[in-house]
Structure 1
Amino acid sequence: MPITVISDRIKFFINRTRERLWVKPLASCVLSIAGALIAKLADYTQLAQILPSVTVESVETLLSVMASGMLVIATFAVGSMVAAYGSASNTASPRSFALVVADDVSQHALSTFIGAFIFSIVGLIATKNGYFQHAGHFVLFILTIIVFMMVILTFVRWVDRIARLGRLGTTIEKVEKATAEALKRRRDAPNLGGRPVESKYYTGLAIPTDSIGYLQHINIAALQTYAEQINGYIAVAVLPGSFIVPGRPLAYIDAESLVPNDVDCSLVTSAFLIDKERVFDDDPRFGLVVLSQIAARALSPAVNDPGTAIDILGILTRLFVGWKTQMGSEYTPEVKYDRVTVPELSIQEMFDDAFTAIARDGSGAVEVQIRLQKMLSILAAMGDDAMRDAAIRHAQRALAYAEKNLLLPEDIATIRKISSFAFDDPLEERY
């Protein structure tokens, strides 16, 4: 299997394991056991002649204090993290849970506390059973002091982070960062490294799937390898984030000497990773959806926080402006896989993901409608025809929502004036 295919799979696997809370604590436990036992190696050297004496009682006392304290701190850390995760799901969106769990500082803190506990238990058992000699006791003592320092520094840093983890503002920042990174990757490879689609009609042999769920990742390198083997071309028909049902074609194979019975469909379908949930990595639209859902929750009568929706409108505008700024007219993406065609993201669908729910749920809040119209006018003036069409369509739709739900004629007139950019005819001729 080519190296590019393997590295692509490994990269996606690493990103998924970062979202698993048990990975770093497990690695910390293994390192802790190794660290506690490595002190024995000093007993086989000449270090005993030059190292100062350390009493066994002092080492056992330090390890006992650490063993009793780390279990309590680790339990407290787990409780605080669970509370933060629940807060993130309740105040922002359940779809942001994976980003909160993947917080590096919290995972590092939990790993350090559990690792220190395992280290102290292993060291204490070995010491009480006479496993170490003079040099080993000294090395274990030094390692214990180092672990103590790591625990203190980690705890101080973690307390500062846990005070913010799960807060609405922190969760929004994480979602924005994940969305921006996904958009950047898609800007660098609009067609995921393949060739752009030249026709909206697919030809060739359709490759369906028996799976159901969301498409999380496409291994374009694997499709390129198979296309080279059959001396043909593969047209990808779906993008990450699409909901896949049995029988829906994932791709189409076009080859001159193609015999349908000779096609190994499993080699094609295995390049499409389908699972129960959407992920942020290759799905920029998912980030836009999550941001829109957070704004919609803030606009619900139970929360009534239009300020959060206004802030998210600014974030969405910043993301779209960054998308357009990088995707200049002179930009030519690199084609790494010339036998695979992949469709680009639809700016119309991206605007639907970002602004539809906010326009609907914020239709009765004049301040939200004003900010929405202003943000759409900024995007309409970016110089991109597709983005302008999408912005105009959503401005008109938002105005229709506002006219239906705003109570004061003065508020409606204000929204009409701001949204005049979305209409070709003069304002006074329309109303």
Structure 2
Amino acid sequence: MFESIQLRGIYLRVINSIGFYPALLVVISMILSIAFVSVEYLGFIQALKVRMAFFLVDTEENARAILTVLIGSVISLTVFSFSMVMVVLNTAGSNLSPRLIPGLVTRKPHQLVLGFYLGTIIFSTIMLINLDKQGSVSDVAKIPSLGILFALLMGLVSLILFVYFIHSISREVQVDNVLDRLFRKTKQGITEVIAQQAKSKGHDLPDVSHWYPLTSLSDGYYKGMDKSRLLKVAKKHNLTLYITIAQSDFVFKGQTILLCNEDIDTQDELHQEINACIIFYVEEYVSDHYSYGLKQISEIAVKALSPGINDPGTAAKAIDILCVLLIRALPLAGYTCIDEEDSEAPAMFCCEPSFERIVFDNLVQIKSYAKSDVFVVCKLIRSVHRVLISVDDPQKQEVLFLYMQSIVCDASAALDNQFDKAKIISALKEVQSTDPEYAEQLLKGLA
């Protein structure tokens, strides 16, 4: 059973590797070059080459010179492009957040460009190898001129892709573009979870207090599950499961990861089969879960507030984006039902991060770093107030009020001049429209 866990982990590492698409395009180029060499000297191809002789190389010396220059030039483009990737990754890790690196590495357009470079090199090299092969054909036929023409076209496309690559890679490290991309992907992830929860509104989470725990057989960061396979296991054994761990939680071996309505802890084979459906790996991709997008936006804000970067404007923009996403996340329930359509009773429930945890994980650290910056403190108060206006759940309101109280307490201890405190008081007065009594308490705490 654990072989399937390893295979799943290898699969995820392969498809998320920077070399996945380049390797795929290299294989395609090799197959294409072999196909060109195989059909180059067929009768109808020879007739076609006579008609388009104006575009074809007719001497071995010219062909060798063209291919040699082409291979060297594309190798130079490849080296420069890979160097640019390393610069972007280093800049993103040092100025924004190291957690952005997996997402930048797996950007498909850049992988395809690098793969096309490598494919052009491989294709041209195979054409060069096949120059002046001995055979029964004429001297002109010994030159794979049609393949060389195609290699030249690939070289021209490589130049166009190089211009696109430089333009695109230079935009990757612009913080506005990074935040915008994270915002769109995170919003999409939240919308998908809300839609999935809406489909199963008729299924309430049963009382799991008497259910039986099932422990993990391995360590790692929980990044999801093989839903279809786990559903099949649950249906086959007539089980109902409740995943108790949230996305990105670190799981220790022997820790409870789910609750089951039947006691299956002694059934080793079934225990292993269920564990084989749980996915652990280190990297954090926004496409896996919206919580990773929230975390990365939060870390960009914290990094911007560090003394080495000192960019409160970026922090303020990240705070605005986070609060917009918090408003989007308000309809989220504490669990999600996962089952096939038209099923009478769901076989699996998944835990979702609570609103309190989302606020704690993504806003508390910003508060700690921003307490001595009156501009960012006021931005936090006003942004959280906008979230507060959208909340109609008393528990969520209490979470936001407590957070604002901690902002005021930290700022009051860190700021000692009346100008800064006056600015914070001005921001707090906006809260009075929501809850005058609580706002009064916050103002007293600042006095």
Residue 378 of structure 2 is aligned to residue 370 of structure 1 = yes
Structure 1 pair 278–154 and aligned structure 2 pair: CA distance change class (3 A): closer
User: Is the deviation greater in 80-89 or in 386-395?
Assistant: 386-395
C-alpha separation in 2, matches of 1:166 and 1:301: 20
C-alpha separation in 2, matches of 1:141 and 1:297: 51
- Provide, for residues 154-208 of structure 1, a one-character-per-residue CA deviation record: whole Å limited to 9, x for no partner: 0111111122233433433343344333323322324997955344x54332110
Structure 2 counterpart of 1:356, one-letter code: V
What does residue 425 of structure 1 align with? 437
The equivalent position to 1:403 in structure 2, one of 406, 412, 416, is: 412
Residue 261 of structure 2 is aligned to residue 261 of structure 1 = no
| Alignment TM-score, normalising by the size of structure 2 | 0.83
Stretches of structure 1 that go unaligned for 5 or more consecutive residues are 1-5
Q: Tell me by how many angstroms 1:135 deviates.
A: 9.7
- Provide, for residues 294-339 of structure 1, a one-character-per-residue CA deviation record: whole Å limited to 9, x for no partner: 1111111222211110010111122223334xx499xx98853711
Is the contact made by 2:29 and 2:119 (CA closer than 8 Å) also made in structure 1?
yes
C-alpha separation in 2, matches of 1:94 and 1:395: 29
- Provide, for residues 111-137 of structure 1, a one-character-per-residue CA deviation record: whole Å limited to 9, x for no partner: 121111111111101124358973973
What does residue 133 of structure 2 align with? 129
What does residue 307 of structure 1 align with? 313
Residue 86 of structure 2 is aligned to residue 82 of structure 1 = yes
Q: Tell me by how many angstroms 1:92 deviates.
A: 0.6
What does residue 24 of structure 2 align with? 27
Q: Tell me by how many angstroms 1:276 deviates.
A: 3.3
C-alpha separation in 1, matches of 2:406 and 2:264: 49
C-alpha separation in 2, matches of 1:202 and 1:20: 42
The equivalent position to 2:124 in structure 1, one of 112, 120, 124, is: 120
User: Is the deviation greater in 86-95 or in 384-393?
Assistant: 384-393
Residue 81 of structure 2 is aligned to residue 72 of structure 1 = no
Is the contact made by 1:67 and 1:120 (CA closer than 8 Å) also made in structure 2?
yes
C-alpha separation in 2, matches of 1:59 and 1:192: 63
User: Is the deviation greater in 162-171 or in 224-233?
Assistant: 162-171
The equivalent position to 1:51 in structure 2, one of 49, 52, 55, is: 49
The equivalent position to 1:169 in structure 2, one of 168, 171, 176, is: 176
| SS of residue paired to 2:288 | coil
Is the contact made by 2:338 and 2:350 (CA closer than 8 Å) also made in structure 1?
no
| SS of residue paired to 2:310 | coil
User: Is the deviation greater in 146-155 or in 414-423?
Assistant: 414-423
Identity %: 17
| SS of residue paired to 2:131 | helix
User: Is the deviation greater in 290-299 or in 403-412?
Assistant: 403-412
Structure 1 pair 28–409 and aligned structure 2 pair: CA distance change class (3 A): same
Q: How many correspondences in the alignment?
A: 416
| SS of residue paired to 2:94 | helix
What does residue 3 of structure 1 align with? none
Q: Tell me by how many angstroms 1:15 deviates.
A: 6.6
User: Is the deviation greater in 168-177 or in 403-412?
Assistant: 168-177
Q: Tell me by how many angstroms 1:213 deviates.
A: 1.9
- Provide, for residues 208-228 of structure 1, a one-character-per-residue CA deviation record: whole Å limited to 9, x for no partner: 013222101122322221222
| Alignment TM-score, normalising by the size of structure 1 | 0.86
| SS of residue paired to 2:156 | helix
| SS of residue paired to 2:213 | strand
Is the contact made by 1:210 and 1:247 (CA closer than 8 Å) also made in structure 2?
yes
| SS of residue paired to 1:380 | helix
Structure 1 pair 152–216 and aligned structure 2 pair: CA distance change class (3 A): same
Is the contact made by 1:62 and 1:144 (CA closer than 8 Å) also made in structure 2?
no
C-alpha separation in 1, matches of 2:41 and 2:204: 65
C-alpha separation in 1, matches of 2:147 and 2:200: 52
What does residue 352 of structure 1 align with? 360
Q: Tell me by how many angstroms 1:34 deviates.
A: 1.7
C-alpha separation in 2, matches of 1:411 and 1:323: 32
1:5-16 paired onto structure 2 within 5 Å: none
C-alpha separation in 2, matches of 1:278 and 1:404: 36
C-alpha separation in 2, matches of 1:416 and 1:170: 33
CA RMSD of aligned residues (A): 3.1
Structure 1 counterpart of 2:267, one-letter code: D
Is the contact made by 1:417 and 1:427 (CA closer than 8 Å) also made in structure 2?
no
Q: Tell me by how many angstroms 1:397 deviates.
A: 1.5
Q: Tell me by how many angstroms 1:260 deviates.
A: 4.8
Structure 2 counterpart of 1:125, one-letter code: I
Is the contact made by 2:234 and 2:241 (CA closer than 8 Å) also made in structure 1?
yes
C-alpha separation in 2, matches of 1:165 and 1:211: 36
What does residue 316 of structure 1 align with? 322
The equivalent position to 1:240 in structure 2, one of 241, 244, 247, is: 247
Structure 1 pair 183–65 and aligned structure 2 pair: CA distance change class (3 A): same
Structure 1 pair 192–218 and aligned structure 2 pair: CA distance change class (3 A): farther
Is the contact made by 1:88 and 1:171 (CA closer than 8 Å) also made in structure 2?
no
Structure 1 pair 203–220 and aligned structure 2 pair: CA distance change class (3 A): farther
